Amino acid sequence: MKPRIRRGRATTVVPSVFAPRDLLAEATAGMLQRPARSALTALGTVLGVGTFVAILGLTATTSSQIDARFNALTATEVTIEETVEDPDQLSGPAFPEDADARMLRVNGVKAAGVYWTVKDDRARTVRSAPVGNAGGERIDVVAASPGVLKAAVPTLSEGRLYDERMAGTGRVAVIGAGTASRLGITTLETHPALFVGEESFTVVGIVDDVERKADLLLSVVVPRTTAEQLWGAPGATESSMLISTDLGAAQQVATEAATALRPDHPEYFKAIPPPDPKTLRSTVSSDLSQLFLLLAGICLIIGAVGIANTTLVAVLERTGEIGLRRALGARARHITTQFLAESGALGALGGLVGTSLGTVTVVAVALARDWTPVVHPATVAAAPLIGLVTGLLAGLYPAWRASRIQPVEALRR
């Protein structure tokens, strides 16, 4: 440093110091000087961080619901298929007549039934009487024991499901709502009938939806015993069994099903247990997380651009102030630190507000959908820090631009 002469003695110039307390005071004054602009500047971070927290929270909540759905539905279904390669080795049908009752004796089974699609040419067309297409519709006819309808967990729009007594004494049918519309059947009050080929059936129930085996909605479902009497027994490997189990019992039921059905020939059957949902669940959750994190990142970038733009405009408007501070001894790094402190404070404030709004959004959506809200503590803790970092990064260029302003040029404006 160059010494200066004072009263005959050489003295050194004392460098200016920007204490942390002064930095905090100047940054606060700069934000409060233009409160509306500061609020609009922080709004970008509020939206970005709020979206970040809300998206991560909703992703975790949705993943939790996906896990519950997989466990409640997929993990409670078992399918039994025939594996007889040589039909001549059978002395009768692979599935015994009392297959439903045998499976119900297995611990954990809620409902079970045998079904197959009728292949007989006499059951190729279906028509209603007295209304409907006289030529008939090409609709699959499914022969199913009453347990199949129970295992499918249907939602009836009209009528009822047939039981063992109805299946043994009359020709009855259950159809889906779509099939009823195709056949022109709008109500059961008139006891409508339909013809499968030349055989008549009374429609006793219209199914609006099912939780399992959705193809039943597009079929005409008739009792298994009636189908055997009219069109004969199914061919080898044509029939299957649908089993609904208690939660957690599916794997055990799958190992015991073949022996329960045919202790003499368990090799006639192949049990298909529910797939392990962990892989599919993790794939779905990973896809959701990646998509939502991308959206949250875009929102944060938009917020950062907003902070950078507003801070840069503030630098240009405060050129005279910056020049005066430089003339009074402020160094370039002091100017840089001041503007970084302002942008960082706005980012941190926006992060705090955004975290609160995002958490409230997750809770509100979960309550509206009757879900359990899931928000990880790490997300709540990291969100304000993300706002702070966003504000600092957004203020780097404006702060550098402010530090490059020369006092003489600034004071001339």
Q: Residue 4 — pLDDT band, cuts 50, 70, 90? A: very low
Average pLDDT, the chain: 79
More confident residue, 264 or 9: 264
Q: In sequence order, what are the residues at sequence separation of 6 or more whose Cβ sits closer than 8 angstroms to the Cβ of residue 298?
A: none
User: Is residue 283 pLDDT above 70, yes or no?
Assistant: no
More confident residue, 280 or 400: 400
3-state SS, one letter per residue, for 300-368: HHHHHHHHHHHHHHHHHHCHHHHHHHHHCCCCHHHHHHHHHHHHHHHHHHHHHHHHHHHHHHHHHHHHH
- Summarize pLDDT for 202-251 with one digit per residue, the tens: 999 999 999 888 888 889 999 999 999 999 888 777 899 999 998 778 88
- Summarize pLDDT for 177-186 with one digit per residue, the tens: 888 988 888 8
User: Is residue 359 pLDDT above 60, yes or no?
Assistant: yes
Q: What pLDDT, on a 0 to 100 scale, did the predictor assign at position 2? A: 42
Q: What pLDDT, on a 0 to 100 scale, did the predictor assign at position 3? A: 44
- Summarize pLDDT for 135-174 with one digit per residue, the tens: 577 889 999 999 999 999 999 999 999 988 888 777 999 9
CA torsion sign for 32, 37, 39, 43 is negative
Q: What pLDDT, on a 0 to 100 scale, did the predictor assign at position 354? A: 85
Q: Residue 5 — pLDDT band, cuts 50, 70, 90? A: very low
- Summarize pLDDT for 300-311 with one digit per residue, the tens: 777 677 767 776
CB 53 within 8 A of CB 375: yes
Using DSSP, state whether 237 is helix, strand or coil: coil
Using DSSP, state whether 149 is helix, strand or coil: helix
Query: Looking at residue 16, what DSSP letter applies?
Result: P
Q: What pLDDT, on a 0 to 100 scale, did the predictor assign at position 112? A: 94
Q: Residue 104 — pLDDT band, cuts 50, 70, 90? A: very high
pTM of the model: 0.55
Question: What is the C-alpha separation between 350 and 300, in angstroms, rounded?
Answer: 11
The angle formed by the CA atoms of residues 258, 264 and 266, to the nearest 5 degrees, is 25
Question: What is the C-alpha separation between 77 and 89, in angstroms, rounded?
Answer: 30
Q: What pLDDT, on a 0 to 100 scale, did the predictor assign at position 256? A: 92
User: Is residue 327 pLDDT above 50, yes or no?
Assistant: yes
Question: What is the C-alpha separation between 223 and 146, in angstroms, rounded?
Answer: 7
- Summarize pLDDT for 39-91 with one digit per residue, the tens: 776 777 787 788 778 877 877 777 666 666 555 555 788 999 988 766 666 65
Helix (H) / strand (E) containing 236: none
Average pLDDT for residues 7-18, to the nearest whole number?
54
More confident residue, 287 or 220: 220
Q: Residue 130 — pLDDT band, cuts 50, 70, 90? A: low
More confident residue, 246 or 407: 246
Question: What is the separation of C-alpha 281 from the centre of its chain, rounded to a whole number of angstroms?
Answer: 10
Give the residue among 152, 162, 146 at the shortest CA–CA distance from 203: 162
